[in-house]
Amino acid sequence: MRDWGRYWRLTISLAVGVLLFSAAPARAGDVMRGICEPGLVESWRHGGPALVEEFASDLGAEVVRINFRWNEAEPAPGVYEPDYIGRAVSAIREARARGMRVLLVVYEAPEWASDRAVWGTAPPGDRAGVYHSYYPPTLGSLDELQAFMTYFSSMLQGEVFAYSCWVEPNLWTYMYPQRTASDPSFAVRRYAAILEAFFAGVRAGDPQAKVVAGETCPTGDNTRLRTSPQRFARRLAALGGAAYFDVYAHHPYPTGGNARVAPGALPDDPSRTVWLANLDTLLEVFPGKPFYLTEYGYPTVYSLLFGVSVSEPRQAEYLRTALRRAGRYD
């Protein structure tokens, strides 16, 4: 296996529904295969260990990507919730016992840390003036985030190979608003501050662990709801964000409204959307940094979220093709 620090790697995580997809082997050493299981911590006592065993024994996953909610882990400043954290630790250690590496995604600000200055204008359909998990943390709460990441990564030193800072921060469901009347780069500017505190915390607790940034959603129209992944990455680079992560990540899901959605297809608007076929538009933003694909997949049931659905045989075909295409990158 190649050294993670010396070579660019691509991790494909297959994320749709229950996420139990098999993947055909890629060329040795080209692509690490992963499974993304967002609800593993929450459902740990209801079949979690059996699910992790299935990832390793039936699916051949090398990496398990686990979602971890800061708002559940620290319900009050400096108060850490032992049950939630304990379930996460159990999931991590079970995955490692099965021979898999763990990538932990930390996201969602607690209510006490949430920036009330932006509570007044919720997205359409949501109630304004109350807490929602998509509101970002205040700048003043980032010392607490740093302290928590130091505590948590120190407790798990050597057991988590990478910590990822937030998920899809260019999408309103995880970071809202994307822009304000006074700051067209509000979300990426706030994310850069979050990332700096997050990085400092992980480095203090486990200097060998990687810090992953980005995890951007595939498309954006540069409104209050979505920022294009290219614009988000370039603005993060301009803010000096590259100093605070080891790996950049993206989710190149094919999205609805496009004429073609196969793994080799270009999106209809490649200036605002990044799929497998035009990954170069992100790779060039942070040259020399490893690059992961931490979510990817094709749903077999239509939903408004993706706007795309395929048959199970076509899903399997597309996943095999996607692994081959990922292996073409350095």
Q: Give tens-digit pLDDT for 172-220.
A: 999 999 999 999 999 999 999 999 999 999 999 999 999 999 999 999 9
Range name among 35-44, 133-142, 230-239 with the lowest pLDDT average: 35-44
What 8-state DSSP symbol labels residue 261? -
| Number of separate domains in the chain | 1
Where do the H-state alpha helices sit in 4-141?
A: 48-57, 70-73, 82-97
Euclidean distance between CA atoms 144 and 150, whole angstroms = 10
Q: Mean per-residue pLDDT for 59-78? A: 96
Euclidean distance between CA atoms 227 and 187, whole angstroms = 9
Indicate the pLDDT class of residue 18, thresholds 50, 70 and 90: very low
* SS3 state at 246: coil
* R_g over Cα of the chain: 19
Question: 59 in a domain, yes or no?
Answer: yes
Question: 118 in a domain, yes or no?
Answer: yes
Instruction: Provide the CATH number for the domain around residue 271.
Output: 3.20.20.80
Element (H, E) at 165: strand 162-165
Question: 185 in a domain, yes or no?
Answer: yes
Residue type, 205: G
Cα 139 to Cα 136, 151, 198, 230, 275, distances in angstroms: 9, 20, 12, 25, 33
Instruction: Name the residue with higher pLDDT: 2 or 51.
Output: 51
At residue 304, the pLDDT reads 86
Euclidean distance between CA atoms 27 and 49, whole angstroms = 29
Over residues 96-146, the pLDDT tens digits come to 999 999 999 999 999 999 999 999 999 999 999 999 999 999 999 999 999
Q: Which residues contact 180 (CB under 8 A, 6 or more apart)?
A: 118, 186, 224
Residue in the structure block whose two tokens are 């099965």: 98
Indicate the pLDDT class of residue 30, thresholds 50, 70 and 90: low
Domain of residue 29 covers 10-326
Where do the H-state alpha helices sit in 183-265?
A: 186-205, 229-238
User: Do residues 241 and 212 lie in contact, with contact meaning Cβ atoms separated by under 8 Å?
Assistant: no
Q: Is the pLDDT of residue 14 over 50?
A: no
Q: Is the pLDDT of residue 20 over 60?
A: no
Question: 269 in a domain, yes or no?
Answer: yes
Question: 1 in a domain, yes or no?
Answer: no
Euclidean distance between CA atoms 219 and 278, whole angstroms = 12
Mean model confidence pLDDT for the chain:
90
Q: How many CB atoms sit inside 10 A of residue 4's CB? A: 16
Euclidean distance between CA atoms 196 and 204, whole angstroms = 12
Indicate the pLDDT class of residue 26, thresholds 50, 70 and 90: very low
Q: How many CB atoms sit inside 10 A of residue 16's CB? A: 21
Instruction: Name the residue with higher pLDDT: 304 or 49.
Output: 49
Euclidean distance between CA atoms 7 and 211, whole angstroms = 15
Would strands 63-69 and 291-296 be described as parallel, antiparallel, or unpaired?
unpaired
Indicate the pLDDT class of residue 279, thresholds 50, 70 and 90: very high
Cα 312 to Cα 35, 52, 316, distances in angstroms: 18, 22, 6
Residue type, 73: A
Q: Mean per-residue pLDDT for 264-286? A: 95
Q: Is the pLDDT of residue 27 over 70?
A: no
Question: 5 in a domain, yes or no?
Answer: no
Q: Write down the pTM of the prediction.
A: 0.91
What would the DSSP string read from start to end of 213-280? EEEE-SB--SSSSB--HHHHHHHHHHTTGGGG-SEEEE-----TTSS--STTPPPS-TTTB--GGGTH
